[in-house]
Structure 1
Amino acid sequence: MLKNIPSIVSPDLLKILMEMGHGDEIVISDGNFPAAAMAQRLVRLDGHGVPDILEAILALMPLDIYVEEPVALMEVVKGDSYVPEIWDTYKKIIEEKEGQKKIAHEERFAFYERAKKAYAVVATGETSLYANIILKKGVVV
């Protein structure tokens, strides 16, 4: 056991966060995302939602301050009328942990290509649609 590590952070996730360097990216994916097909390194946290995992990761890992948009979301597919309310939750968590940050919106297949290059993918049981998020790691000062 360790102190001050959020309990939702598994040993595998903690190891990956420690291995990541400045500029590496991590995807936190919803339950519909093809995580196993995309991941170079896969962490399964199926019983949890993205907001709790996002909050736990940002308690341990800073976002990159040297890029304009250190966070990316999968944008809604053209013609889909769904409004991802979960994005407001993400903005609130990010603002509380890291201050105000610009967030990119990536087209679905561009998001997939970026996810394939990410250091790791965290697969969750999140049921909200368009709940996938990419975080770019910053430096610890």
Structure 2
Amino acid sequence: MKKGLLINSEISYGISKLGHKDSIVIGDAGLPVPHGVQRVDLAVSKGIPSFLSVLSAVLSEQKIEKIILAEEIKTASTTLHEQILSVCKGAEGNLEIEYVPHEEFKRNTGKCKFAVRTGEFTPFANIILISGVVF
């Protein structure tokens, strides 16, 4: 059995197949997943699991160089926005952050290798993680 923080086999396997610049999306319970993008559905009920707990677990295994957030998170969910930045910057020191309108964010999810759906009900609790390299 895996010993690390991330024990979900589908997510761990998906991360193991990522290359430099590949992306995944972690989303709230309502984020639409485009046809053709693999969905890992973790949502059990409202708030379970939380967006931040899933993000933290994924960041324990995935090397990222950039994150993409919806511009709207800055005003609609300010506390979550600050928490996301804190968690991501704690995992990766030098990190590029891009903000795009939510409609563009949703279009960008079509390029992701897979999507993780959480039980989060906070507006705009979605992030695209762009893979870096470990060397």
Instruction: Give the TM-score taking structure 1 as reference length.
Output: 0.83
Aligned partner of 2:29 in structure 1 is: 31
Query: Matches of residues 5-84 of structure 1 in structure 2 within 5 Å?
Result: 5-7=4-6, 9-35=7-33, 37-38=34-35, 40-46=37-43, 47-64=48-65, 70-76=66-72, 82-84=76-78
Aligned partner of 2:109 in structure 1 is: 115
In structure 2, relative to structure 1, the CA distance for the partners of 1:39 and 1:52 (3 Å cut) is farther
Instruction: Tell me if structure 2 keeps the 8 A contact 1:31–1:123.
Output: yes
Per-residue CA deviations over 1:45-76 (Å, capped at 9, x if unaligned) read 11311111111111111112xxxxx1011121
What is the deviation of 1:38? 5.0
Runs of 4+ that moved beyond 2 A? 81-84
In structure 2, relative to structure 1, the CA distance for the partners of 1:29 and 1:38 (3 Å cut) is farther
Instruction: Tell me if structure 1 keeps the 8 A contact 2:49–2:118.
Output: yes
RMSD: 1.8
Instruction: Tell me if structure 2 keeps the 8 A contact 1:50–1:126.
Output: yes
How many pairs align? 130
Aligned partner of 1:2 in structure 2 is: 2
Instruction: Give the TM-score taking structure 2 as reference length.
Output: 0.87
Q: Which runs of 5+ in 1 are unaligned?
A: 65-69
In structure 2, relative to structure 1, the CA distance for the partners of 1:38 and 1:103 (3 Å cut) is farther
Identity %: 26
Q: Which runs of 5+ in 2 are unaligned?
A: none
Instruction: Tell me if structure 2 keeps the 8 A contact 1:39–1:120.
Output: no
